[in-house]
Structure 1
Amino acid sequence: MRLGIQLGYSGEGFAASVDEVVEFEEAGAELVVVPEAYSFDAVSQLGFLAARTRGMQLASGVMQLYTRTPTLLAMTAAGLDYVSGGRFNLGLGASGPQVIEGFHGVRYDAPLARTRETAEICRRVWRRETLAFDGDHYTIPLPGDYAKPLKIINRPTRSRIPILLAAMGPRNVALAAEIAEGWQALWLDPRSAGRVFGDALADGRSRRDPGLGPLDVSVPVPFAVGEPTPVLLGRHRAQLALYLGGMGAKGRNFSNDLVRRYGYAEEATRVQDLFLSGRRAEATAAVPDDLVTATSLVGTVDTIRHRLDDFAAAGVTTLLASPLAATRAERVKDVAALRELLGKL
């Protein structure tokens, strides 16, 4: 199982975070993922990381397909792959209507079809084809007297950049298993993964091009070697409350839907109701303890070893750790310990 590092949303501490990423790379981390919701953009930070790291892979987690044209996504990915020496992975996702319509002012529609067409357009650009595409949602070039098919001026470092699709719903997960090199999961409970995602993964894999290779399944997990105290897990609990309660409207919240499929329907409703009514502390407290534990990786070395077996059995191939320890030295030490445990799987 590959070891990656999942960064948090960008802020004033980004430069210090990159200093840590350099140490995490020395400790054995093989990948770093930069998120993008309605924070600073991921692209500028990935360029910074490309200059500071040596061999680790870089990935967006995720770039939103509605806010960039498919051709711009392809150009951006090719540029990041170039400056990193062929180390970039395009993490791509549809985000949700709250962010896309509420922050960007772009209509959120047909996420699956747009994702499929975007992936195809990106791959044509990277192969330096003269781009002509006639889809249901994207037409390139547009009809008219002035438009003509073009191909990217530069020669991309690679003609195939890995695409990692973020997905939670069954149809999105099936699409990832069908067309992408990787699936970026979120809030994965390994005990329930087979029941919740098994059919969708099997459906997508049944149509998968063998040339794509095996599906990489990456999962972000808050991580620490130590006792799972309320203080240590407090940030993870609060983030679960935010996603279950606030990252989407009532009846259109993908994280809330996922947790319901895990079997927490009543709890998901309560967290959302509390959060949307402004009672955030109560919403955070209402997140089920079992869900907090299942979607994190905190405990003794023996506990973590057994949990890693659970993740491996669920099909996880890349673990994206978010180190939680209080000091930088402890976080680097924990990452090294996790690398050693993963090497024994």
Structure 2
Amino acid sequence: MTDRDLFLPVAAQPSVDSLVDQARLAEEAGYDTAWLPETWGRDAVTTLSCIARQTDEIDIGTSIMPVYSRSPALIGQTAATLQEVSEGRFRLGLGPSGPIVIENWHGAEFGNPLRRTRETVEIVKKVLSGDEVTYDGEYFDLGGFRLRCEPPNPAPPVDTAGMGPKAVELAGRFADGWHALLFTRAGLRDRLEDFDRGSDLGERDRSEQRVTLSLTCCVDDDPETAKRLVKQHTAFYVGGMGTFYRDNLARQGHEEVAHEVHESWQAGEKETAMDSLHDDLLSKLAVWGPPETARERFRQFTDIDGLDATSVSFPRAADSAQIETTLRALAPE
């Protein structure tokens, strides 16, 4: 049985306090980790600091923090500080995000994301070790400094996100875990082979690495309402967030649907894009329905060999009541 995690809402919430309340509710309900993505809303560091101060047992982590928005050394400092504030409950999740966010929001060039991610992971781990950081890479050339405060003991694990074969192999080789998003059971198994291969290449102890799958979930007594919310969310990612999610879905054997959704969304035909996501495919990517139906659908994703944690995520358009209902309904049994 996999761990049960919570992926705090990616959409804007009423306040930082509302995110703290959701994390506290997850702790009470028995969730293992509360993950917070960093997009173009509240920053993850401040929010997770508030969560750390108002929880006691639940682990916290970033899923994901972009590698283009901060220097690797600053990310290392941040990870060390959040590990201290949370008293050892922090896990760092990193990833490249995508050109839409990095170029249009951060104003940075999105280039060679795999190399940038690898160098960031390597530097962050050096920072967290407390040793002097000397690094000569393609993007970063550092030397002469070490962490000024005591290094965290234990150092927080460092995960990466990715969808393509090389990105997932990189996670297995250099990171302590992999964050998966928008995968069917069959598609996830294929990428787990890449992760395991990377783990072997890096001579890592696979039993100490953690693979987490994020599932879009919505529990509502009206199944059509719940289905529409997860369908809109999925279509937005495939159609509106560049080409990475489109290509990821295509690699899993759904090329025609992936391109239909993307082309329709880009043309402003969002209803058509949503209609292209037929129920059979949607059920392989997301969870919805009244409580018992949703729990049964969720259980179908918890027995995949090599998967360590399954994370309850929420549609972008879900309101606070739907988020709380879903959180409670899919809590660990």
- TM-score, normalised to structure 1, is 0.87
* Counterpart residue type for residue 149 of structure 2: N
Partner residue of 1:161?
A: 156
- State the match for 2:179 in structure 1: 184
Once the two structures are superposed, the pairs formed by residues 1-345 of structure 1 within 5 Å of their partners are: 1-9=2-10, 10-141=12-143, 149-194=144-189, 196-211=190-205, 213-223=207-217, 229-248=223-242, 253-298=243-288, 301=292, 304-305=295-296, 308-322=299-313, 326=321, 330-331=325-326, 333-335=328-330, 338-340=331-333
* TM-score scaled by length of structure 2: 0.90
- The size of the alignment, in residue pairs, is 326
RMSD: 2.3
> How many percent of aligned residue pairs carry the same amino acid?
29
Q: Distance in 2 between matches of 1:128 and 1:5?
A: 31
* 1:154 shift after superposition: 0.7
Larger radius of gyration: 1
**Residues of 2 paired with 1:298 and 1:11: CA distance?**
21
Question: Cα deviations across residues 287-321 of structure 1 (Å, max 9, x unaligned)?
Answer: 23223211223356477457525432243211111
Deviation at 1:286, TM superposition (A): 2.1
Letter of the aligned partner of 1:244 in structure 2? V
Residue aligned with 1:55, SS = coil
| Structure 2 runs not aligned, ≥5 long | none
1:225, distance to aligned residue in structure 2 (A): 5.8
Q: What is the Cα deviation at residue 42 of structure 1?
A: 1.2
Partner Cα distance (2:325, 2:229) in 1: 17
Q: Secondary structure at the match of 2:184?
A: coil
Task: Give the equivalent residue in structure 2 for 1:343.
Answer: none
Pair 1:212–1:132, CA change in 2 (3 A): farther
Displacement of 1:258 in angstroms is: 0.9
**Unaligned residue ranges in structure 1 (runs of 5+):** 142-148, 341-345
Q: Distance in 1 between matches of 2:182 and 2:121?
A: 24
Amino acid in the other structure paired with 2:3: R
CA distance, structure 2, for counterparts of residue 106 and residue 152 of structure 1: 26
Verify the 8 A CA contact 1:191 1:314 in the aligned structure 2: no
C-alpha contact (below 8 Å) 2:235/2:273 kept by paired residues: yes
Measure how far apart 1:279 and its partner are: 1.7
Distance in 1 separating the partners of 2:13 and 2:293 = 34
| Partner SS for 1:91 | strand
CA shift in 2, pair 1:177/1:67, >3 Å: same
